[in-house]
A and B are shown apart, each in its own frame.
Chain A
Amino acid sequence: MENLTFDLAKSSLRELNQLLHKDAKDGKLGKVTVLNPDGAHNIAVGLDCPVEVEVQGHAGYYVGGMNKIATITVMGSAGTGVGENMMSGKVHVKGFASNGAGASAHGGLLVIDGDAGLRCGISLKGGDIVVGGSVGSFSAFMAQAGRMVICGDAGDALGDSLYEAVLYVRGNIKTLGSDAQIEPMSQADLDTVADLLAQAGLKHDPKGFKRIASKRELYHWNVDANQEY
């Protein structure tokens, strides 16, 4: 196992991703430090081995997308779609994340220390997301499975058309989306929040979080609703 520094100012992104797909998968690489990301798109996408990647700066779109097993840390901010469609492993953004963070993630853990933009966790399918700051509007829209812990505030229409994903919010919720409701925190919920906060390295009292889940009123067509929900 070898640790390596890769400078994106000197070599191409394709070379980096080929290295992470091939050499890393052969078990040759322990940790890869990426210098001068300068907002490049698609850094460390589609990884499928237990390599560790540290991005020293701001990443562009889709960093850590489709991740499996690998651990990816972005020391700066991340553009649209960080950790999109992640399957397993961990993606950690130390700064803020733009829109669509963790969209449709099937598994793994996405941690954003700062704020996340709009549509965070949209269509979440089983992954876990912890946001140290606030999330923008339409977060967790149609989220099917998985959990989101939001330590700050949530914007408009949080959890609109939720399926079975569960959201925990510590701050204010501007508005809940259709079919989302605040529910009491059970012991299992407190344990879940404590566990996810510990994994994210954040210190908050789980008792300070609200649970948001689906009312399940949109699961079946209601002819008497006159299209109003």
Chain B
Amino acid sequence: MCGIVGLLAKKPALREKLGELMVPMLIGMTERGPDSAGLAVFRDPLAESQRKISVYSGLTEAGADFNWQGLVHDLKAHLGATVELEAKGNHAILIMKADPEIIKRWIKEHHPKLHLLSTGRSIELYKDIGTPAEVANRYNFKTLKGSHLVGHTRMATESAVTPDRAHPFTAGEDFCLVHNGSLSNPNGIRRMLEPRGIHFETDNDTEAACRFLEWRLREGDKLELALQKGFEELDGFYTFLMGTPDALALIRDPFACKPAVVAETDDYVAIASEFRSLAHLPDIKNANVFEPAPEEMYVWKI
């Protein structure tokens, strides 16, 4: 199984309450995915010259006691980079006015067990093992603000239960993907991408889909064309929900093996594996509730 949830605020006022509305959605999918949970939130983009990186220290020896201030100090000392820090336990967001690749390379070299979750001008990403309620509390999801977000509750089938194999997966900048289902050709996709210099971090099947679609976007495909190529290349069962700086996108495999339901009002678009996760949303009784069709592309812009 696995549960997916997504929420896009159509009105600015709702951006303030994005996390608050999302937490019950995520917890509502606990039965579908009790072993790990995660969430990517998209916020107003930073200036062109800035980037933010979400970093996870749960795999280091220090864990939640990781010395984030020390890391910021070292980045200044060794690279001359001024980095702003927002840290909470085993998670930190580093904001910089520098090439993020240089910072990431330095972190990987000196702290190989730090896990880099996401990079971009909009995206902030959290994921960890534990029940959705535990993970939501750990990172205080209810206070998150932003225009849209993508969340996931995991019941692992294709790879082990570890924080780095939880969803969302990211590739490149400001792109993330969550998956309910299982792919049958992830290794083929991987063998096709690796010779093109695309590096994989886990053995997870979803990572293959994420890197494939991000590769198409980076090669210049518009989102719709990239998704069309996804239909052609990705084999297996899937409902994918993706986040970009200005959109949420959803596709389902031709057999609609994995569920999805959408509720749309003038104020928001909410997506979940099951209606159970949408029932609490404001004005849900008057929402347009529908099931997205298989092999169709659904793209909602902010």
Indicate whether A163 reaches chain B with its CB closer than 8 angstroms: no
- Give min CB distance, A175 to chain B, whole Å: 13
Q: Is the CB of A117 within 8 A of B256?
A: yes
Q: Is the CB of B275 within 8 A of A99?
A: no
Q: Is the CB of B274 within 8 A of A60?
A: yes
Indicate whether B199 reaches chain A with its CB closer than 8 angstroms: no
Number of B interface residues at 8 Å Cβ cutoff, please give it.
18
The listed residue with most A CB atoms (<10 A of its CB), out of B261, B276, B290, is B276
Indicate whether A77 reaches chain B with its CB closer than 8 angstroms: yes
- Give min CB distance, B287 to chain A, whole Å: 10
Which of A38, A58, A96, A118 is within 8 Å of B294, CB to CB?
A118
- Give min CB distance, A188 to chain B, whole Å: 35
Proximity bits, A83-124, B CB within 8 Å = 1, else 0: 000000000000110110000000000000000011000000
- Give min CB distance, A61 to chain B, whole Å: 8
Indicate whether B278 reaches chain A with its CB closer than 8 angstroms: yes
Q: Is the CB of B274 within 8 A of A39?
A: yes
Indicate whether A79 reaches chain B with its CB closer than 8 angstroms: yes
Q: Is the CB of B259 within 8 A of A98?
A: yes
Number of A interface residues at 8 Å Cβ cutoff, please give it.
21
Q: Is the CB of B276 within 8 A of A38?
A: yes
Q: Is the CB of A99 within 8 A of B274?
A: no
Which of B256, B261, B279, B293 is within 8 Å of A38, CB to CB?
B279
Q: Is the CB of B256 within 8 A of A77?
A: no
- Chain B residues lying within 8 Å of A73, measured Cβ to Cβ, are none
In the complex, what distance in Å separates the CA atom of A95 from the CA atom of B289?
Answer: 10
Which of A76, A98, A138 is within 8 Å of B291, CB to CB?
A98
- Give min CB distance, B289 to chain A, whole Å: 6
- Give min CB distance, A192 to chain B, whole Å: 29
Indicate whether B255 reaches chain A with its CB closer than 8 angstroms: yes
Q: Is the CB of A79 within 8 A of B275?
A: yes
Look across to chain B and name the residue whose beta carbon is closest to the beta carbon of A80: B259
In the complex, what distance in Å separates the CA atom of A61 from the CA atom of B31?
Answer: 13
* Pairs A–B under 8 Å by Cβ, sample size 20: A36-B279, A38-B275, A38-B276, A39-B275, A57-B279, A57-B285, A58-B279, A58-B289, A60-B276, A61-B274, A76-B289, A77-B291, A79-B259, A79-B274, A79-B275, A95-B289, A98-B261, A98-B291, A118-B255, A137-B294
Interface on B for A, CB 8 Å cutoff? Answer: 254-256, 259, 261, 274-280, 285, 289-291, 293-294
